[in-house]
Amino acid sequence: MLHRVLVTDNLSAAGLKVLEENPEIELVIKTDPKLSVEQLREELQDADGIVIRSGTTLTEEVLEGQSRLKAIVRAGVGVDNIDIPAATRQGIVVMNTPAGNTISTAEHTIAMMMAMARNIGPASASMREGKWEKKIFTGTQLAGKTIGVIGLGRVGLAVAQRCLGLEMRIVGYDPFISSERANEFGIELYRDLDEMLPKCELLTVHTTMTPETKNLINAERMAKMPKGARIINCARGGIIDEDALADAVESGHIAGAALDVFLQEPPKETRLVKLPSVLTTPHLGASTDEAQELVAVEASEIISGFLTRNEVRHAVNMAPVSASEMGGMKKYIDLAYRLGILLAQQTHGEGIRSAEIHYRGEAASKHTRLLTSSFSSGLLSIALGDRINIVNASMLAEERGIPISEETSKKAGDFSTMIVAEVTTDQGTLRAGGTMFGHEYLRLVLMDDYQLDAYLDGTMLIYRHRDVPGLIGLVGTVLGKNNINIAHMALGRETNQPGGDSVAVINLDSKPGQDVIDEILSNKDVTAVEIVQLPVAGAPLPWLGL
Ligand SMILES: NC(=O)C1=CN([C@@H]2O[C@H](COP(=O)(O)OP(=O)(O)OC[C@H]3O[C@@H](n4cnc5c(N)ncnc54)[C@H](O)[C@@H]3O)[C@@H](O)[C@H]2O)C=CC1
Ligand SMILES: O=C(O)C(=O)COP(=O)(O)O
């Protein structure tokens, strides 16, 4: 089946070409007219992936119940127009293209700063009206001025580098970078934003939009800046409090502002936009041919790589996995998932308090977080059904108050690679350990304290019993007379002495009914019987299509 990719914002032709030329992808473009929320919900019902820019907002309401949608790709940086927790809860991977538009955005920031300092916008408008107003448009020189850069990520650092070239002094604030790194870029790093603000004759913000950065520059902070300071925002509307900025510009404390982004786009509240010393552009930071080609091609490659090769690149709500890494992980993801559903069925999904996964030998060098998510999606599959997958498993486990921890040891034990999962429930602790033979065949080699060697697929009849002669024959006879074929049988006993507690795992070709289970259970030496249903060997896993 073709993977359907919906595009709802303008992407460069080069990016669309990547999707059009992929024979495994069906491209659906819905950019004009802009879709309503209802139309977007409807289109998404038939989409495996969506590629957007800042023009499409994917709220919880839009994402709710979108069972076909597997991936959202943002052709650009900011993902604040996507409800990430809602996407994660739905099991949808969100990815972006972090670097393609950095330089263009930094250049736009510099352009805005220079245009503001020299009144380029109003001077040009005045000349268009036939005027020659040399005196009123006297500007301010930038060389020698101090600029404060808040957010020293990709764009912030690129802006700082360019400001150095303009012979400006740069002070910076970003709690997440080291002063060594800042110094490499000629930035004097402050650990306290309020201490830095009085130094800033110009201030530019380059953080992502988070609850911490919302209104980061408010009235109180603007008051700490020197009188006549200027403010630039080419990051996200709302990092600077728009109302407070309008007040500060009107009062003359802030001499001017240059804004590319707004709380609401296009802005409905126009007080700020209409102020003569406020320069505005309609979110143009990334709008160059070069940046748009880079982000659109990358976004298209990301969505194709994900849908056709399970590659996870630049994910915002999941660890990244390259196509080659994924190749080596598939069997492990499968193994962890199967241990998860095995234990889920043994606990009936009830009363699970916590789980602990141990990775031994080769397994320890794999992407264990992903494996733990895969295990968790199996473990919670009874409770949550198809809704759970590798993307949302950790979040949903956490929401249900089930801590799932992991521990790794590169030391191999009896097997070169092994995953052992331990689940604690209200009733006690259950354990299952799996390995793979020849990197191919998945095996259950540990159940509670019993060592054994059972297939980890299909229908499994598990019975606990006292290790006495004749029992295997008896169970075999019951199954035989009910026409149930045995594919494989494994026994594990507590000690090497006969007569102790044992467990048997029989892989069957069909599922026995309750009457068969009751007949086996009626034997005085059998203490418990359960049927566990795992996917058949090599069956595809949910959404990963492994
Ligand atoms: N106007 C436009 O068209 C464009 C806007 N952007 C926006 O620019 C911003 C920066 O983008 P990038 O540099 O690519 O992102 P980035 O992720 O590389 O950098 C963000 C930086 O902000 C810092 N930060 C986070 N919280 C902070 C806080 N409370 N205080 C100070 N610093 C904090 C982080 O440590 C990080 O270094 C984003 O909001 C992005 O959406 C990006 C591209 C185009
Ligand atoms: O990449 C970003 O964060 C941007 O803000 C660019 O937005 P756009 O793709 O031009 O709508």
Domain map (residue ranges) of the chain? 3-98+290-309, 102-280, 323-533
480-490 pLDDT, tens digit each: 999 999 999 99
Distance 10 CA to ligand 2 centre (A): 11
Superfamily of domain covering 102-280: NAD(P)-binding Rossmann-like Domain (3.40.50.720)
Q: What is the pLDDT of residue 219?
A: 98
Of the listed ligands, the closest to the CA of 207 is 1
Write out pLDDT tens, residues 232-254: 999 999 999 999 999 999 999 99
Determine how β-strand 146-150 pairs with β-strand 202-205: parallel
pLDDT band at 541 (very low <50, low <70, confident <90, very high): confident
Distance 105 CA to ligand 2 centre (A): 9
- pLDDT value at residue 496: 66
Outline where DSSP puts E strands in 53-135: 71-74, 93-96
User: For the residues 286-309, what does the mean pLDDT come to?
Assistant: 97
- Establish how many alpha carbons lie within 13 A of residue 322's alpha carbon, considering only the half-sphere containing its beta carbon: 3
Ligand 1 mutation target, pool 53, 77, 103, most atoms within 8 A of CB: 77
pLDDT surpasses 60 at 493: yes
Question: Going by CA atoms, what residue is nearest to atom 11 of ligand 2?
Answer: 54
Residue 61: both structure tokens together: 């309401």
- The pLDDT score that the predictor gives to residue 44 is 98
Percent of the chain with pLDDT over 90: 84
The vertex-395 CA angle with 384 and 539, nearest 5°, equals 50
Count the neighbouring beta carbons within 10 Å of the beta carbon of residue 14: 14
Single out the residue of 265, 268, 259, 266 nearest to residue 241, CA to CA. 259
Residue 546 predicted with pLDDT over 70: no
Token pair for residue 77?
Answer: 């940086």
Summarize the confidence of residues 357-377 as an average pLDDT.
94
Which pLDDT score, from 0 to 100, does residue 542 have?
Answer: 63
Q: Which CATH number fits domain 3-98+290-309: 3.30.70.2190, 1.10.3720.10, 3.40.50.720, 1.20.1050.10?
A: 3.40.50.720
Active site includes 253?
Answer: no
Mean pLDDT on 106-123: 98
For this structure, is 129 an active site residue? no
261 CA closest ligand 2 atom index: 5
**Residue showing tokens 């800033």:** 200
- Say yes or no to pLDDT of 545 above 60: no
> Using a 6 Å CB cutoff, which residues line ligand 2?
53-55, 76-78, 101, 283, 285-287
At residue 168, the pLDDT reads 98
Helix (H, G, I), strand (E, B) or coil at 527: strand
Catalytic residue, candidates 221, 236, 367, 465: 236
Which residue minimizes the CA distance to atom 9 of ligand 2? 53
Q: What is the pLDDT of residue 324?
A: 83
pLDDT band for position 441 (50/70/90)? very high
Is 283 considered catalytic here? yes
Contact predicate 206/150, CB 8 Å:
yes
Which residues have C-beta within 8 Å of that of residue 517, sequence separation ≥ 6?
529, 531
Distance CA 214, CA 238 (A): 6
pLDDT of the residue at 413: 82
pLDDT value at 520 more than 70: yes
CATH topology match: 102-280 vs 323-533: no
What is the per-residue pLDDT for 95? 96
**Whole-number pLDDT of residue 363:** 95
Percent of the chain with pLDDT over 70: 99
Q: Which CATH superfamily is domain 323-533 in?
A: D-3-phosphoglycerate dehydrogenase; domain 3 (3.30.1330.90)
CA-angle at 377, arms to 373 and 381, nearest 5°: 170
Q: Is 214 helix (H, G, I), strand (E, B) or coil?
A: coil
For the cut 60, the answer to whether the pLDDT of residue 543 exceeds it is no
Scan for tokens 């004759």, then name that residue: 201
